[in-house]
């Protein structure tokens, strides 16, 4: 597609439930990133996929968070047993390998009630 | 480690200039700059690479001091459309992963 597509755009879930957030990167972009942005805050790195290499998971805040990328394209971020502090906008970005700017999706606004 | 941006906020009149700084405590391979308007996704402005290469929008100017591990974004003759939050993202050792600063909020008034 023309840009990075994320779904759903908004998600309200009850505390303790699992959620899945989807990211469809720009075709041909080998690098895919997930960031989290809490209200009025900066961009917190979560996880980074590059081609067929093992992902860099160093930013995942707890073992309730996991992500996968299938076929080098679509990625899913899963949050298990959601907590209120998980409420944030989850942004996905993709880029070509090497020195290239990121293209961000519009994000998924997650609200845990 | 998260880079430090300064100032935290700037208010300008149209036509005035501003400089936003980004400083890291670690050696850097590249620095990126992004602008985010309220309720929207961050948009890529510029990348500055170790060794002097730069890529980005023609109307945006920035510098990268590798020795001091600092970058500055120069916004000249500001327009209302420049308003938003500016983030620098730093990459160490060609890891491909950016760590973003806390952001600088810029407001341009008529």
Q: Would the CB atoms of A43 and B89 count as touching at under 8 Å?
A: yes
- Mean pLDDT of the residues in chain A: 94
Q: Which residues of B touch A94 (CB under 8 A)?
A: none
Q: Residue written as tokens 């936003």?
A: B20
CB spacing of B97 vs A33 below 8 angstroms? yes
Q: Quick: pLDDT tens for A26-67.
A: 999 999 999 999 987 889 999 999 988 899 999 999 999 999
Residues from chain B that touch A35, judged by Cβ atoms under 8 A, are: 100
Contact in structure between B70 and B16 (CB atoms under 8 Å): no
B79 φ, ψ (degrees, to nearest 5): -115, 165
A33 vs B40: CB contact, 8 Å cut-off?
A: no
* Token digits of residue A20: 């899945």
pLDDT tens column, B26-60: 889 999 999 999 989 999 999 998 888 888 876 78
The tokens for A4 are 């990075």
How far does B78 lie from chain A, in Å, by closest CA?
Answer: 23
B86's CB contacts (< 8 A; 6+ apart) are B5, B20, B33, B34, B35, B36, B45, B73, B103, B104, B105, B106
Question: How many secondary structure helices (H) and strands (E) does chain B include?
Answer: 0, 11
Tokens for A60? 């995942």
């Amino acid at each position: 597609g023309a840009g990075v597509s994320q779904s759903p755009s908004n998600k309200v879930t009850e505390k303790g439930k699992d959620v899945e957030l989807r990211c469809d990167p720009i075709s041909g972009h080998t690098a895919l990133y997930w960031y989290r942005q809490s209200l009025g805050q900066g961009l917190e790195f979560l996880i980074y996929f590059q081609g067929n290499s093992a992902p860099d998971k160093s930013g995942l805040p707890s073992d309730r968070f996991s992500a996968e990328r299938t076929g080098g394209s679509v990625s899913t971020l899963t949050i298990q047993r959601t907590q209120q502090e998980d409420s944030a906008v989850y942004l996905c970005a993709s880029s070509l390998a090497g020195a290239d700017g990121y293209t961000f999706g519009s994000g998924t606004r997650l609200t845990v009630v | 480690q998260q880079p430090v941006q300064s100032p935290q906020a700037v208010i300008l009149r149209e036509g005035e200039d501003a400089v936003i700084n980004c400083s890291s405590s670690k050696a850097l391979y590249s620095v990126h700059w992004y602008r985010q308007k309220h309720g929207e996704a961050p948009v890529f402005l510029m990348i500055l690479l170790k060794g002097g290469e730069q890529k980005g929008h023609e109307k945006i100017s920035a510098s990268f001091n590798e020795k001091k591990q600092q970058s500055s974004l120069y916004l000249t003759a500001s327009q209302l459309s420049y308003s938003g939050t500016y983030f620098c993202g730093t990459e160490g050792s060609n890891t491909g992963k950016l760590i973003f600063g806390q952001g600088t909020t810029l407001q341009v008034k008529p």
